[in-house]
Structure 1
Amino acid sequence: MPTPRPTDPPHIDDALVRDLVADRFPAWSGLPLRRWEPAGSDNVIYRLGDDLSVRLPRGEWAAGQAVKEHRWLPGLAARLPLAIPAPVGLGEPALGYPWHWSVSQWLPGTAARTELLTDPQRAARDLAGFLTTLWETPLPGQGSDDAAPTAEGLARRDRATRDAITATADRFDAAALTRVWEAALATTDDRAPRWVHGDMHDGNLLVVDGRLSAVIDFGGLAAGDPACDLVVAWTLFDAAARDTFRSLSGVDDATWTRGRGWAIATGLNAYTAYAAVNPRVAAATHRQITRAAAG
């Protein structure tokens, strides 16, 4: 068997997770534990008993998410009109697992899809209300020891996005994607940074009985440009609901244009990384990219 290198992702299985829970939180060690699928690209997820979830980063790129969520989510939860994860325990690196991990209250629901929404207009209103509240929530003092992390800017995606447009020219309209991308880069955000979710798409929303019930996965939470959170307009909503969402989110034309750019950039990134191995991601990101290209 090859010797694992320090950069190799750890092998996360039932035995490791059970041992980590028993070591850090012995009071929960007797609860049933089962792996939850499909999980996200950043974290492996387990359900612990009926009321708890365990999330463990898959790699170094996600290693700081647990600490961040434990620091900021409790204060945001009281302000926001949809449920968000409620951290109840922060796991330490141990037993050969190298990163912090988290235990949170389990949130019921199914990952959102357009066809699951019984009233897309209500969903558009609910999500616009959630995001505007998040964006308007005061940030901690910048420059302080407890400042919010800084979100990535759109321009940093330029080279990777142009390369992805070229690489997928046989599947998408490269000229149309380039026009959307360059229009987004030509705009600027002159306002001070605001809280942003940072990974706002349908897979990070939960639906119960046809209605949006929760927003999850705040690993991208940061101070930045709200345009990045508009990606959801092209992953979840049809054209009519998208118009309602745009109107109620209160963003100007430049921010909406950058939102389309974010939808192109994130969609192409996921498509090129996963389309060959994950048909579900391929279909979802293909829809996202084509919707954003069309407007």
Structure 2
Amino acid sequence: MHDDQVDVTAETVAALVQEQFPQWRDKVIRPLPSTGTVNGIFRIGDGLSARFPLRLAGVAEAWAVLEQEARASAELAQVSRFPVPEPVALGKPGAGYPMPWSVQTWVPGTVAFEADPGGSDAFAEDLAAFIADLRKADTRGRLFRGEGRGGVLAHHDDWMAECFEESEGLLDVPRLRHLWSHFRQLPRRGADVMNHGDLIPGNVLVAGGRLAGVLDTGGFGPADPALDLVSAWHLLEPGPRDVLRRALGCDELEWERGKAWAFQQAMGVVWYYVETNPTMSGMGRRTLDRILESMQ
């Protein structure tokens, strides 16, 4: 998926576990098919999962990122009423794998790509409850770090220009450029609140049409209160989307900013993953379709 991607195999993972965590050496190592774009995932027995960064980075840089993600995941676990992975250990480079890696608890459920909950009002209510719990968490004076989504929409103009250029022939670019010219000007009123930061189908677990758990919690942190509203467009159809909005009490500006962040994310994944991760690319297309339909 990436020019700098690092390959990791079950044999490599088994060797790392044998060397660094011999208490798990008798557990079966299984690669987990995933639409994820940042980490390769392997199960260790039934109760653990190992995450291996796919994009090459220096050891010190990667270690700092994993430590920060572990702290964020542990903090989110304290406020979520729904199951989330909890940090267990950090592994070192070895066995031909050049970066540190992490081990978390395993959370059962089916990812929303495979068990689409988009038509479920009950799922929308669960999702709203999850977002509300995070919003209530204390920021402890922290502010948005200035990286990625969650700050100023117009700061993404350069990236969006690249996305529009790369999307020629894939999408109705003139119409989408016009839409971004509207989104980028939406003002921000609310102070930062705690957000998950990436509520896409691949990070959401479903069971029986309800929210069973949330994955990839290492990005938990302060950001635009509208950021987690991307889930309304990535995950929900119109009826349940309205349920989510009512449950969270979103005014028109916050709702539109959530739509804008979903638009920004969707524009990036359509072209970037069109060949290497069709599921993610398709998610972006569906999200854009939902947004365009809502604007009619």
> TM class, shorter-chain normalised?
0.7 to 0.9
SS of the equivalent of 1:292 reads helix
The aligned counterpart of 2:198 is 199
The aligned counterpart of 1:129 is 129
Between the aligned partners of 1:235 and 1:243, the Cα distance in structure 2 is 14
Shift of 1:200: 1.2
The aligned counterpart of 2:53 is 57
Q: Which amino acid aligns with 2:70?
A: H
Q: Which amino acid aligns with 2:32?
A: W
Shift of 1:209: 2.3
Alignment map for 1:65-144 (pairs within 5 Å): 65-113=65-113, 116-117=116-117, 120-142=120-142
SS of the equivalent of 2:257 reads helix
Shift of 1:68: 2.1
Between the aligned partners of 1:239 and 1:35, the Cα distance in structure 2 is 36
The answer on whether the counterparts of 2:40 and 2:53 sit within 8 Å (CA) in structure 1 is yes
Between the aligned partners of 2:97 and 2:107, the Cα distance in structure 1 is 25
The aligned counterpart of 1:240 is 239
Using structure 1 for the length normalisation, give the TM-score: 0.87
The aligned counterpart of 2:188 is 189
* Residue-by-residue CA offset, 1:78-120 (whole Å, 9 max, x unaligned): 3212111111112233444333311111111111149643961
Between the aligned partners of 2:261 and 2:185, the Cα distance in structure 1 is 13
Q: Which amino acid aligns with 2:46?
A: D
The CA RMSD over aligned residues, in Å, is 2.5
Between the aligned partners of 2:144 and 2:19, the Cα distance in structure 1 is 31
SS of the equivalent of 1:195 reads strand
The answer on whether the counterparts of 1:9 and 1:59 sit within 8 Å (CA) in structure 2 is yes
Q: 4+ residue stretches of structure 1 with deviation over 6 A? A: none
Q: Which amino acid aligns with 1:125?
A: E
Between the aligned partners of 1:155 and 1:175, the Cα distance in structure 2 is 18
Give the unaligned 5+ runs of structure 2.
none
The aligned counterpart of 1:272 is 271
Between the aligned partners of 1:282 and 1:11, the Cα distance in structure 2 is 21
C-alpha change, 1:264 and 1:168, in structure 2 (3 Å) is same
C-alpha change, 1:150 and 1:140, in structure 2 (3 Å) is farther
* Residue-by-residue CA offset, 1:156-214 (whole Å, 9 max, x unaligned): 32122133234434443334323332222112223332211111111110011222110
Shift of 1:52: 0.8
C-alpha change, 1:19 and 1:39, in structure 2 (3 Å) is farther
* Residue-by-residue CA offset, 1:41-60 (whole Å, 9 max, x unaligned): 00000011011111111014
The aligned counterpart of 2:175 is 176
* Residue-by-residue CA offset, 1:225-272 (whole Å, 9 max, x unaligned): 132221111121111111111222223322221222211211111111
- Range moving further from structure 2, 191-200 or 120-129: 191-200
SS of the equivalent of 2:122 reads helix
Give the unaligned 5+ runs of structure 1.
1-6
The answer on whether the counterparts of 1:52 and 1:105 sit within 8 Å (CA) in structure 2 is yes
- Range moving further from structure 2, 153-162 or 60-69: 60-69
The aligned counterpart of 2:37 is 41
SS of the equivalent of 1:226 reads coil
Q: Which amino acid aligns with 2:106?
A: W
Structure 2 residue 163 is matched with structure 1 residue 164: yes
SS of the equivalent of 2:186 reads coil
Q: Percent identity?
A: 33
Between the aligned partners of 1:176 and 1:252, the Cα distance in structure 2 is 25
How many residues are aligned here? 285
SS of the equivalent of 2:264 reads helix
C-alpha change, 1:174 and 1:79, in structure 2 (3 Å) is same
C-alpha change, 1:263 and 1:192, in structure 2 (3 Å) is same
* Residue-by-residue CA offset, 1:120-174 (whole Å, 9 max, x unaligned): 11111110111121022001343xxxx8855533333212213323443444333
The answer on whether the counterparts of 1:151 and 1:224 sit within 8 Å (CA) in structure 2 is no
SS of the equivalent of 1:99 reads coil
C-alpha change, 1:53 and 1:22, in structure 2 (3 Å) is same
Structure 2 residue 252 is matched with structure 1 residue 253: yes
